[in-house]
Amino acid sequence: MAYQRIQCILLPVLVLTITANTMVIEARYLLECSPYLPMEPELPKPEIPKLPELPHELPEHEVCKVPEPLKPKVHELLPKVPELPHELPKCELPKFPELSKHEVPKLPELQKHEVPKFKVPKFPELPYEIPKLENLK
């Protein structure tokens, strides 16, 4: 039932789209070809005023000097640090006795163990002709 209602709705929409397109085309044709319609008056183009010309060389302006701010001298604000003597005494390190070298005992040599070789077992060979299932019955 629903599909019948869709047809009733779609048919008028289809008719409107087809007729609307032809009406637009015909109206445009009448508008372009009709000699009875008054033409729009042509407006004069506005004139743009000329821009003032800038001189190629600009005059030099003197820049005013800004006075430098007063900076307090840092070395006047800090207290004086006592001076160190130029030659400092050398530090003497105490002498340590020489340490004897420890002897490392030798380890006995280990014998090399032989690993037996792996032998791949041979699989039985298949005959050239494989027996058919019919012959085995």
Q: What's the pLDDT tens digit per position in 111-125?
A: 888 888 888 888 877
Do the domain assignments include residue 55? no
Residue 11 domain boundaries: 1-35
Do the domain assignments include residue 52? no
Do the domain assignments include residue 6? yes
Do the domain assignments include residue 77? no
Could you tell me which residues come within 8 angstroms of residue 37 by beta carbon, excluding any fewer than 6 positions away? 31
| Cα angle, residue 48 at apex, residues 42 and 54 outer, rounded to 5° | 170
Q: What does the pLDDT look like over 60-114, one tens digit per residue?
A: 777 778 888 877 777 777 777 778 777 777 888 888 888 888 788 888 888 888 8
| Calpha distance 10→15 (Å, rounded) | 9
Main-chain dihedrals φ then ψ at residue 75, nearest 5 degrees: -70, -20
The pTM for the full model equals 0.19
Do the domain assignments include residue 92? no
Do the domain assignments include residue 17? yes
Do the domain assignments include residue 60? no
Domain count, the chain: 1
Do the domain assignments include residue 22? yes
